[in-house]
Amino acid sequence: MVVTLIKLYSMVKKWHWYVGFFVILFGVYFLYFFTQDDFSQSNLPVINNNIQPFSFTNQNGKILTERDIEGKVFVAEFFFTTCKGICPKMNANMRRVFDTYKVDSSFMILSHTCMPETDSVPLLKMYEQRMLNGSLVQNDDGSYKINYDSTLVSPQNTENVKWNFVTGDKSSLYKMARQSYLIDNNKPDSVSNITDQFIHTQFFALVDKQSRVRGVYDGLKEDEIKKLLIDISALLKEKYQSRSLN
């Protein structure tokens, strides 16, 4: 009887050991599985995984490089300050994007001038004041515009770091539009001198925290602006994984 009890005790002890072993084994497996998979990852495709390094000057006279946008979600566009056509409509929509995400430390907007020969830093600063201090108004047709009266609005005392209006070398600016953001519809004329080239596009590029283009949107279409706002939110939830920027 005693021998039987000892054998039974030994079997129960072994059974507990086996159960404990497999519990630990499965625990390690599931821990590995959940740490390796990023469940915050958006289903937006990667359109361009190779945004090139850059160095531009913003409206505050500060140099902005790829290091300043590393780890941030940002929207890129091209415009010029004297544009009377599509730019005011585009930037009214961009103001909506700015108003929605301006308090998020992981978000930024880069508005590149396509006329650096005329859009100086002081002009970009004046344009920034119109964009930030003007009243955003919805038109009867559902589109938006920015009304600005300099006599009624005092300039901001604080430095805006969320919406950067940048200028720089024209060939570098155009290269960003064509090779990094992929938002220039027109193929560059290899025969034409860079001083004779002109980019005028209504498209916005959405870039994730890993500096990859994840979407291109028509800045004049309401349904695409709504999608852009949703997609920004999705990318902000993604984890940031640092990668080397050469």
pTM, two decimal places: 0.79
- Please tell me the class of the 55-236 domain: alpha beta
- For 15-37, letters b (16+ CB in 10 Å) and e give eeeeeeeeeeeeeeeeeeeeeee
pLDDT in tens, 170-207: 999 999 999 999 998 655 555 567 676 778 899 999 99
∠ CA 107-113-114, rounded to 5°: 130
pLDDT in tens, 95-115: 999 999 999 999 999 999 999
Phi, psi for 163 (deg, rounded to 5): -115, 105
* Per-residue pLDDT, 30: 43
* Per-residue pLDDT, 110: 98
- Structure tokens, 113: 């001038």
* Per-residue pLDDT, 245: 43
Integer CA distances (angstroms), 173 to 87, 142, 177, 181, 186, in order: 17, 32, 7, 11, 15
pLDDT in tens, 7-32: 555 655 565 555 555 545 544 444 44
